[in-house]
Amino acid sequence: MKPLIVANWKCNPKTLEEAKTIFDSVKSVQGSEVVICPPVIYLSALKANGAQDVFWEDGGAYTGAVAPSMLKNMGVTHIIVGHSERRKYFKEKDDVIAKKINAALTCGLKPILCIDKLSQLPKDLDQEVIVAYEPLSAIGTGKAYGLDKAEAMRVDITRATGDKNVILYGGSVNAQNAKDYIHQAGFQGLLVGGASLNPKEFIDIVKNVCYC
C-alpha cells in the first residue's frame, strides 16, 4: 500500500494566487497517495481533495457552517477532524468530534481523526477512520516525537481499534525524518503541517517515503 501523505495548510496562505502556486507545484507528485487540505475558501478554485474541518449537520440554519455534502460535492474525499488546534482554540470536545466523524462517514467522506492520547479514540470505532497520532509537543515546534515512543503509540492505537484503520504520524515532519516514521515506526502515512506549505520540502517528503 502506498503511504498516505496529508497536507494541512491550516490558516495559510493569505491569497488565492499563493495557494494556486503551492498547489500547482505539488499536485502531480507521484509515489504516495496525497491529500491536500487548504482553507475551505480555496477548495473550489483548487479542486483540492481534502478539508480541515466539517460541520456535523448536513445543512440548515447554521450560520458560517460548511456541511459534509457541500465538501463531497466539491470533490473532497478526506476531512481532518479533531485537530488539536480545533480542540484548543475552538473548544471542540470528543462528543462534537464524534458527531463530525459520523456526519463525514454518512456522506461518504473519509475522516482523519487527530488524537494525542488513546482516550480521544471513540469508544465504538466500528467503521474505517484514519487515525492521526499527533503528540502535542511535536506540533508546529520543530521537535518531532521520538521514533520509539511514536511506534509504541501506533501499536497501542492498532490494539485499541483493530488493524482496519490507517494510522498516520503528525508533528514536525520534514524531508529528513519522514521516512523513519513510515519505514521504522510502521505508520502508514503522515499528517504534515508547516512543511506542506513549502513545495520543495513537501515533494521531498512524498518522494522520500515512497516504497518505489
Q: Which of residues 135-164 bind ligand PEP (CB under 6 A)?
A: 139-140
The minimum distance between CB 57 and ligand PEP, in angstroms, equals 25
Cβ partners under 8 Å of residue 196, min gap 6? 7, 8, 9, 26, 36, 202
- If one asks whether residue 192 binds ligand PEP (CB under 6 A), the answer comes out as yes
> Is 18 one of the catalytic residues?
no
The minimum distance between CB 95 and ligand PEP, in angstroms, equals 22
Part of the chain binding ligand PEP (CB under 6 A), chosen from 18-26, 33-41, 97-105, 188-196: 188-196
Of the candidates 33, 57, 78, 83, the residue annotated as catalytic is 83
- If one asks whether residue 170 binds ligand PEP (CB under 6 A), the answer comes out as yes
Cβ partners under 8 Å of residue 115, min gap 6? 82, 121, 131, 132, 133, 134, 157
How far apart, in Å, do the first and last CA atoms of the chain sit?
A: 11
Bridge partner list, 192: 7
Q: Looking at beta carbons only, is 70 or 181 nearer to ligand PEP? A: 181
Which region holds residue 75: left if phi is over 0, alpha if psi is between -120 and 50, else beta?
left
The minimum distance between CB 65 and ligand PEP, in angstroms, equals 22
Residue at shortest CB range from ligand PEP = 193
d(CA 184, CA 64): 42
- If one asks whether residue 51 binds ligand PEP (CB under 6 A), the answer comes out as no
Determine contact, residues 157/102, Cβ cutoff 8 Å. Answer: no
Of the candidates 78, 92, 134, 201, the residue annotated as catalytic is 134
Active site residues per annotation: 83, 134
